[in-house]
């Protein structure tokens, strides 16, 4: 099928949910995920560590965020990375569907309040090579969609990625930290030494928090005082419960 024919087909066929393929109601025609699939995403809920948002079955200090830079004070994720939520992230990252970011942002918008201080959304950057391969940065698509909902700006100039890192999924929590060490540096226009600015790091998935912590470390070293983080998904890590 030619691309023109495919475009025509998309125009003539009613829009369907990307995940379950039911037809979307006219009201939801702009979306890629239907309301039923969105309601199936399982929200991450308290009780949790007040700082990193990880549910804590044990007493004592949280293992997950104990080593984080001090400026990274609050991190939340919207939903558990299971079933449909994993498919949605996969579509965002690998199926060239940055438009799905708005469906994901709709689920994230209540997870964290960026506050009334001057806040800036900072997407976790991709290395240039991966950005060229994918054509877009999925975290930037999320930050852009969130920024429109929250009414706060997004800046891609705050943080730069100095190198790509190995895919995190196969690594243990300890090797993940080493894997991302030094992967970020403040960007061309960091503005991080403005004390009133609250930086909100945005990423698609939180696994151990190593990526957010390393990005926060780079901003903190450049003078940032308050850094939040928000992700759409949170991976279940069996060895941390
Ligand atoms: Zn659906
Ligand atoms: Zn914690």
Between the alpha carbon of residue 234 and those of residues 32, 45, 207, the distances in Å are 21, 11, 6
Are 233 and 206 in contact by the 8 Å Cβ rule? The answer is yes
Question: Which ligand has the shortest distance to the CA of 34?
Answer: 1
The answer on pLDDT for 164 being more than 90 is: no
Between the alpha carbon of residue 170 and those of residues 167, 174, 178, the distances in Å are 7, 12, 13
Q: How far apart are CA 186 and CA 224, in angstroms?
A: 10
Question: Which ligand has the shortest distance to the CA of 17?
Answer: 1
Question: Which ligand has the shortest distance to the CA of 24?
Answer: 1
Tell me, in angstroms, the distance from the centre of ligand 2 to residue 87's CA: 27
Q: What is the mean pLDDT of residues 191-207?
A: 82
Tell me, in angstroms, the distance from the centre of ligand 1 to residue 20's CA: 4
Instruction: Say which residue, 130 or 190, is predicted with more confidence.
Output: 130
**Residue 210: how many CB atoms within 10 A of its CB?**
25
Which protein residues have their CB within 5 A of the ion that is ligand 2? 49, 51-52, 62, 64-65
Tell me, in angstroms, the distance from the centre of ligand 1 to residue 36's CA: 6
Q: What is the mean pLDDT of residues 189-212?
A: 82
- pTM, to two decimals: 0.86
Confidence of residue 5 (pLDDT cuts 50, 70, 90): low
Strand locations in 90-214 (E): 119-123, 159-161, 184-186, 198-206
Tell me which residue of 173, 177, 179, 175 sits closest to 239, measured CA to CA.
173
Q: Which residue has the tokens 């104990």?
A: 66
Tell me, in angstroms, the distance from the centre of ligand 2 to residue 137's CA: 27
């Amino acid at each position: 099928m030619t691309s023109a024919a495919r475009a025509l087909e998309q125009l003539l066929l009613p829009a369907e949910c990307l995940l379950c393929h039911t037809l979307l109601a006219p009201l939801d025609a702009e979306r890629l995920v239907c309301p039923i699939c969105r309601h199936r995403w399982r929200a991450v809920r308290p009780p949790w560590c007040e700082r990193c948002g990880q549910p804590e079955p044990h007493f004592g200090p949280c293992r997950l965020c104990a080593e984080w830079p001090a400026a990274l004070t609050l991190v939340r994720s919207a939903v558990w990375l299971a079933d449909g939520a994993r498919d949605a992230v996969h579509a965002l990252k690998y199926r060239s569907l940055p438009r799905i970011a708005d469906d994901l942002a709709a689920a994230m918008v209540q997870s964290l309040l960026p506050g009334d201080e001057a806040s800036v959304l900072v997407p976790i950057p991709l290395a240039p090579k991966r950005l060229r391969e994918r054509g877009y940065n999925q975290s930037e698509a999320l930050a852009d969609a969130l920024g429109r909902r929250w009414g706060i700006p997004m800046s891609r100039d705050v943080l730069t990625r100095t190198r790509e890192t190995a895919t995190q999924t196969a690594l243990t929590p300890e090797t993940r930290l080493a894997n991302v060490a030094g992967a970020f540096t403040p960007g061309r226009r960091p503005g991080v030494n403005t004390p009133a600015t609250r930086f909100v790091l945005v990423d698609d998935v939180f696994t151990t928090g190593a990526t957010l912590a390393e990005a926060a470390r780079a901003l903190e070293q450049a003078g940032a005082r308050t850094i939040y983080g928000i992700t759409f998904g949170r991976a279940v890590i069996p060895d941390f419960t």
